[in-house]
Structure 1
């Protein structure tokens, strides 16, 4: 790929990370919904338990969680890379640190999964980490919109777009 081709794509690359992250926020909320259904099924009795088990919530929660882990790591790397390509440096600030913290939280949460069957306290840590992750994710969405607004403003000032 020539440098002219990359230069032509550069303004649009700035939007890959935010779009990906907004999609992942929705995926994370869906994973939380599935996790709540898994808990309901685990604690239910009788017919309700039979009905909830049919939903295969545990399998779906695990699959969506795996996808979330992979895409969050890739999205974070992509965001840092695009920032470097656009600015010639990595912008050090709260958005970056919170994003890196989110990668650590989602990785740790996923690493706990094999231990959750035997230890209820591990399940509690898994849930707590994911709630913190969702809180950071919401904050990241707000600060990310502010960053996108700056990028769009800069593009309009420079006549790009």
Structure 2
């Protein structure tokens, strides 16, 4: 791909990261729902437990978590790359640090999974990290909207001038 083609894509590249992150935020909320269902299944008894087991929540939670881990890391790298391509520098600020924190939290949370079967305290750490991650991710989404608004303003100013 030539640099001219890349330059033509620049305006659109700015929106790939935020759209991807909003999709991942919804996916993360779904993963949380599945995690809650796993807990309900673990604590249930009798017929309710038999019914909940049919939902295969643990398998789905693990699969969605794996997808989230991969796409969040790729999305963070993509966001940083697009920022560099558009500005010639990486914008150092709260949005970047929160994004890097999210990558660290989700990586650590995923790394705990093999130890959760034998240690309840590891499961609690996993859950706590993911709650913090979701809060940080929600804040990240709000600050990302502000950044997108700035990009749109700059695009409108460039188009008008």
Match of 2:146 in 1: 146
Q: CA deviation at 1:106?
A: 0.1
Q: CA deviation at 1:2?
A: 1.4
Corresponding position: 1:29 with 2:52: no
CA distance in 2, matches of 1:104, 1:3: 33
Instruction: Map 1:98-137 onto structure 2 (within 5 A).
Output: 98-137=98-137
Q: Which runs of 5+ in 2 are unaligned?
A: none
CA distance in 1, matches of 2:15, 2:74: 15
Matched pairs, number: 160
Aligned-residue Cα RMSD (Å) equals 0.7
Match of 1:54 in 2: 54
Corresponding position: 1:71 with 2:71: yes
Q: CA deviation at 1:4?
A: 1.2
SS at match of 1:146: helix
The CA deviation string for residues 68-110 of structure 1, in whole angstroms up to 9 with x for no partner, is 0000000000000000000000000000000000000000000
Query: After the TM superposition, which parts of structure 1 deviate over 2 Å for at least 4 consecutive aligned residues?
Result: none
Match of 1:80 in 2: 80
CA distance in 2, matches of 1:5, 1:74: 22
Tell me the TM-score normalized by structure 1.
Answer: 0.98
Q: CA deviation at 1:145?
A: 0.1
